[in-house]
């Protein structure tokens, strides 16, 4: 019995069917960490500016610049209009009995207009994203220097329709390469390297680990890019779907080209589209090559751009790049599933 | 000699080089590194040894291939694979009985490649603070990555000072012109200048253009928190300062 030909779900250019979300750094995506602090109600509003001045000299908020000193009590019927932050609990550890006198020696801060101190939980670090800011502000008012691009990206609205159409097209090429590799018995993974400035595909390739255990699709593409610039080490000529184009051949020699060649790293400013999240080796290979941005379709169990590690935003490493996931996610997931099926068939036969 | 990282003894139990082997092969790796240094190349020496035989030998080939993944370890692994094909040996079983001897800790990429091939032991000289994948930046050698081959054992610290010295003298001769020290000192002042005069975030520029990790780090420590928010509007000079910074970043 012949297997039914697979039908593509939705139209080929249904760019509405997927959303590219950013893979943010650990710091940007982690939960809001809280610390305990002492606060005091301000009963008499008129004393506020004096209290803030005196508290700032007694307990400066050195490492907590993101915290507002005073917050308004929003609940109706609150006995006092404002509350002021005194210090972290860790800064005053010898407090046996919590009282205004033990917390604020009256020589430094006059107690006029203050109520009884209490413990609050405040955000330990400045919020980096809008979701973090919104969570942090629930605990204590926090200042936030918003990165508008991150906010828009988190909403999945960073890319315009024409940009999404181009991304769609590039990922379709990666999927086509993956399928070609799959037909040759390789793992069904494909990748495409694009120069976003000239909108040209520099290299496309697929997994070749059947012939070389380290020739993952990304590694193949990096060597093809090197070949497009007169370097490269391997020959992938026997794989028709592993190709490269030299940019210089079809564009006139111009200043930008000359600049690009003088750059020491081959993938500077380039985008990579890959059907599934790269492994540790491939992610670090992209970092060494100074890739500009990476777009992947679906996550993988040992992935190093979001799942197990975030190499693109790893502290101590000397290059950072943007990563987006979810481009043509359904098709890329189907690809992985079809890969599993092929493997199972091969194992049975 | 420190033998750290013996935590995963089970997988490497049946295969671990003795001290004499380590001495012998590391001496060879250091000879290679010294030779590279004398030829003005990155002083890293690297050997894959199987059954008391060198089956792979690598040196950094990044510049000639324009391929930033051609580290010495990757070259040596390719040679090991070629050797297997030539002598009709099974790749998997050769790798499982091979050790890598290298003068500097393998980077994150190479560590992952060694895992993918199930190489059980890596002996290295000094740590690689910038890229190290055996504990310095990430610990790929022991991380929980079930689909990335097997964890491997690290034997570190063998003639570490010597390896560091070679790297230092290589990077000294890399930068022979005297101007760079002047630029370098300017460079270290830039974050302060920048913070005083511009509101734009220099960190973003650094992230994109700075090729050297230590400089990025120093930039972070040079940001005095008390200056946060101080801002002098400079109008037309703003772009001039930015350009100047970029020139300095590019030149060094």
Question: What confidence tier does A16 reach under pLDDT thresholds 50, 70, 90?
Answer: confident
Question: What confidence tier does B227 reach under pLDDT thresholds 50, 70, 90?
Answer: very low
Task: Give chain B's mean pLDDT.
Answer: 75
**Contact at 8 Å (CB) between B56 and B80?**
yes
Q: What is d(CA B11, CA B5) in angstroms, rounded to the nearest whole number?
A: 13
Please report the pLDDT score of residue B235 as a whole number: 40
Q: Where are the alpha helices (DSSP H) in B146-232?
A: 160-174, 179-197, 202-209, 213-222
Burial degree of B125 (CB within 10 A; 0-12, 13-18, 19+):
buried
Do both A218 and A288 map to the same domain?
yes
The answer to whether residue B241 is domain-embedded is no
Q: What is d(CA B37, CA A24) in angstroms, rounded to the nearest whole number?
A: 40
Has residue A45 got a pLDDT over 70? yes
Please report the pLDDT score of residue A265 as a whole number: 73
Q: What is d(CA B147, CA B116) in angstroms, rounded to the nearest whole number?
A: 8
Task: Please count the other Cβ atoms lying within 10 Å of the Cβ belonging to residue A176.
Answer: 15
Please report the pLDDT score of residue B15 as a whole number: 76
Please report the pLDDT score of residue A342 as a whole number: 67
The answer to whether residue A25 is domain-embedded is no
Taking contacts as CB-CB distances below 8 angstroms, the residues of chain A near B81 are 212-213
Please report the pLDDT score of residue A246 as a whole number: 83
CATH number of the CATH domain containing A267:
3.40.140.10
Which residue from A222, A231, A317 is facing B213, i.e. has the nearest CB? A317
Total H helices, total E strands in chain B:
11, 5
Residues of B with CB under 8 A from a CB of A: 61, 64-70, 74, 77, 81, 91, 107-109, 111-113, 115-117, 129-131, 133, 137-138, 140, 143-148, 207, 210-213, 216-217, 225, 228
The answer to whether residue A24 is domain-embedded is no
The answer to whether residue A147 is domain-embedded is no
The answer to whether residue A138 is domain-embedded is no
Q: Report phi then psi at A305, rounded to 5.
A: -115, 50
Q: Which helix (H) or strand (E) holds A8?
A: none
The answer to whether residue B6 is domain-embedded is no
- In this structure, what token pair is assigned to residue B48? 């894959």
Q: What is the DSSP string of B110-137?
A: HHHHHHHTT--EEEEEE--TTTBTBTTS
Task: Please count the other Cβ atoms lying within 10 Å of the Cβ belonging to residue A51.
Answer: 24
- Is B147 in Cβ contact with A302 (below 8 Å)? yes
| DSSP letter assigned to residue A15 | G
Q: What percent of chain A has pLDDT over 70?
A: 87
Domain total of chain A:
2
Q: Which helix (H) or strand (E) holds A285?
A: helix A280-288
Task: Quick: pLDDT tens for B39-79.
Answer: 888 899 999 999 999 999 999 999 889 999 999 999 999 99
Q: Where are the alpha helices (DSSP H) in A59-205?
A: 100-103, 130-139, 148-154, 161-183
Has residue A94 got a pLDDT over 90? no
Question: What confidence tier does A161 reach under pLDDT thresholds 50, 70, 90?
Answer: very high
The answer to whether residue B239 is domain-embedded is no
The answer to whether residue B100 is domain-embedded is yes
pTM beyond cutoff 0.90: no
Q: What is d(CA A8, CA A17) in angstroms, rounded to the nearest whole number?
A: 12
- Strand ranges, E, within A253-300: 271-276, 293-298
Burial degree of B202 (CB within 10 A; 0-12, 13-18, 19+):
buried
Domain total of chain B:
1
Q: Does the active-site annotation cover B96?
A: no
Do both A169 and A108 map to the same domain?
no
Has residue B210 got a pLDDT over 70? no
Task: Quick: pLDDT tens for A292-327.
Answer: 999 999 999 999 999 999 999 998 999 999 999 999
Do both A230 and A109 map to the same domain?
no
pLDDT mean over B171-199: 51
Structural domain boundaries enclosing B99 = 19-171
Identified catalytic residue from B53, B61, B73, B105: B73
Please report the pLDDT score of residue A288 as a whole number: 96
Q: What is d(CA B126, CA B103) in angstroms, rounded to the nearest whole number?
A: 7
Q: What is d(CA B224, CA B214) in angstroms, rounded to the nearest whole number?
A: 18
Which residue from B68, B116, B145 is facing A289, i.e. has the nearest CB? B68
- Is A232 in Cβ contact with B108 (below 8 Å)? no
CATH number of the CATH domain containing B49:
3.40.140.10
- C-alpha B194: how far from chain center: 31
The answer to whether residue B208 is domain-embedded is no
Q: What is the DSSP string of A225-243?
A: HHHHTT--S---TT-TT-E
The answer to whether residue A55 is domain-embedded is yes
Do both A228 and A320 map to the same domain?
yes
Query: Could you give the count of Cα atoms lying within 13 Å of A308 in the half-sphere of its Cβ?
Result: 22
Residue B112 neighbours by CB under 8 Å, 6+ apart:
A279, A280, A281, A284, A304, B133, B140, B148
Q: What is d(CA B29, CA B49) in angstroms, rounded to the nearest whole number?
A: 11
- Is B133 in Cβ contact with A284 (below 8 Å)? yes
Do both A42 and A174 map to the same domain?
no
pLDDT mean over B225-239: 37
Structural domain boundaries enclosing A66 = 34-124
CA distance A14 to chain B (A): 33
The answer to whether residue A150 is domain-embedded is no
Do both A168 and A290 map to the same domain?
yes
Do both A193 and A295 map to the same domain?
yes
Question: What confidence tier does A262 reach under pLDDT thresholds 50, 70, 90?
Answer: low
pLDDT mean over A175-180: 97
- In this structure, what token pair is assigned to residue B251? 């030149």
Please report the pLDDT score of residue A179 as a whole number: 96
Please report the pLDDT score of residue A100 as a whole number: 80
Task: Please count the other Cβ atoms lying within 10 Å of the Cβ belonging to residue A230.
Answer: 11
pLDDT mean over A52-60: 90
Name the nearest CA neighbour of B241 among B181, B184, B206, B196: B196
The answer to whether residue B187 is domain-embedded is no
Do both A171 and A303 map to the same domain?
yes
| DSSP letter assigned to residue A291 | B
Has residue B6 got a pLDDT over 70? no
| Residue bearing the bigger pLDDT, A43 or B252 | A43
CATH number of the CATH domain containing A60:
3.30.70
Task: Quick: pLDDT tens for B127-172.
Answer: 999 999 999 999 999 999 999 999 999 999 999 999 999 999 988 8
The answer to whether residue A322 is domain-embedded is yes
- In this structure, what token pair is assigned to residue A186? 């390789």
Do both A215 and A301 map to the same domain?
yes
* Among A145, A288, A289, A309, the residue to mutate for chain B (most B Cβ within 10 A): A288
CA distance A289 to chain B (A): 5
- In this structure, what token pair is assigned to residue B12? 């490497």
The answer to whether residue B23 is domain-embedded is yes
* Residues facing residue B138 across a β-bridge: none
The answer to whether residue A257 is domain-embedded is no
**Contact at 8 Å (CB) between A258 and A282?**
no
Has residue A278 got a pLDDT over 70? yes
């Amino acid at each position: 019995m012949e297997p039914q030909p697979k039908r593509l779900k939705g139209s080929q250019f249904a760019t509405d069917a997927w959303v590219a979300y950013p893979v943010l750094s650990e710091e940007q995506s982690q939960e809001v960490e809280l610390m305990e602090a002492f606060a005091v109600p301000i009963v008499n509003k008129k004393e506020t500016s004096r209290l803030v001045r005196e508290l700032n000299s007694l307990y400066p908020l050195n490492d907590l610049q993101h915290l507002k000193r005073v917050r308004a009590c929003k609940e109706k019927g609150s006995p006092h209009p404002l509350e002021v932050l005194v210090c972290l609990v860790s800064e005053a550890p010898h407090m046996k009995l919590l009282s205004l006198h033990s917390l604020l020696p009256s020589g430094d801060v006059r107690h006029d207009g203050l109520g009884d101190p209490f413990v609050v939980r405040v955000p330990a670090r400045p919020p980096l994203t809008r979701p973090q800011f919104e969570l942090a502000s629930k605990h204590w008012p926090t200042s936030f220097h918003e990165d508008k691009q991150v906010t828009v990206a988190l909403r999945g609205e960073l890319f315009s329709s024409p940009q999404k159409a181009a991304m769609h097209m590039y990922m379709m090429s990666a999927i086509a390469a993956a399928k070609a590799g799959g037909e040759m018995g390789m793992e069904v993974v494909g990748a495409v390297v694009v120069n976003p400035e000239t909108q040209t595909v520099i290299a496309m390739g697929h997994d070749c680990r059947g012939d070389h255990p380290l020739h993952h699709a990304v590694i193949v593409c990096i060597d093809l890019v090197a070949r497009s610039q007169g370097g490269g080490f391997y020959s992938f000529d026997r794989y028709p779907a592993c190709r490269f184009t030299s940019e210089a051949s079809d564009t006139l020699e111009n200043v930008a080209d000359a600049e690009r060649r003088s750059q020491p790293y081959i993938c500077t400013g380039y985008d990579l589209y890959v059907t599934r999240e790269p492994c540790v080796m491939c992610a670090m290979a992209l970092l060494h090559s100074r890739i500009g941005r990476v777009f992947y379709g679906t996550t993988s169990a040992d992935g190093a751009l979001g799942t197990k590690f975030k190499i693109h935003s790893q502290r101590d490493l000397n290059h950072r790049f943007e990563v987006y996931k979810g481009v043509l996610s359904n098709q890329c997931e189907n690809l992985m599933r079809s890969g599993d099926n092929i493997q199972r068939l091969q194992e049975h036969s | 000699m420190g033998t750290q990282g013996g935590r995963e003894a089970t997988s490497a139990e049946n295969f671990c080089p003795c001290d004499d082997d380590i001495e012998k092969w590391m001496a060879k790796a250091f000879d290679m590194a010294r030779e590279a240094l004398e030829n003005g190349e990155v002083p890293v020496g690297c050997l894959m040894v199987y059954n008391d035989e060198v089956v792979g030998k690598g040196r950094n080939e990044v510049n000639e291939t324009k391929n930033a993944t051609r580290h010495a370890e990757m070259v040596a692994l390719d040679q090991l694979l070629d050797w297997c094909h030539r002598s009709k040996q099974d790749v998997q079983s050769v790798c499982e009985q091979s050790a890598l001897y290298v003068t500097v800790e393998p980077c994150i990429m190479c560590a992952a490649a060694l895992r993918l091939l199930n190489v059980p032991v890596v002996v290295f000289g000094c740590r690689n603070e910038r890229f190290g994948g055996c504990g310095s930046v990430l610990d790929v050698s022991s991380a929980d990555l079930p689909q990335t081959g097997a964890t491997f054992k690290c034997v570190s610290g063998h003639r570490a000072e010597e390896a560091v010295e070679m790297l230092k003298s290589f990077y000294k001769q890399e930068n022979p012109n005297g101007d760079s020290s002047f630029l370098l000192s300017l460079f270290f002042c830039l974050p302060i200048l920048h913070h005083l005069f511009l509101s734009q975030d220099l960190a973003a520029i650094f992230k994109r253009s700075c090729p050297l990790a230590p400089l990025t780090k120093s930039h972070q420590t040079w940001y005095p928190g008390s200056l946060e928010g101080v801002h002098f509007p400079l109008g037309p000079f703003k772009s001039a300062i930015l350009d100047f910074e970029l020139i300095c970043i590019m030149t060094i």
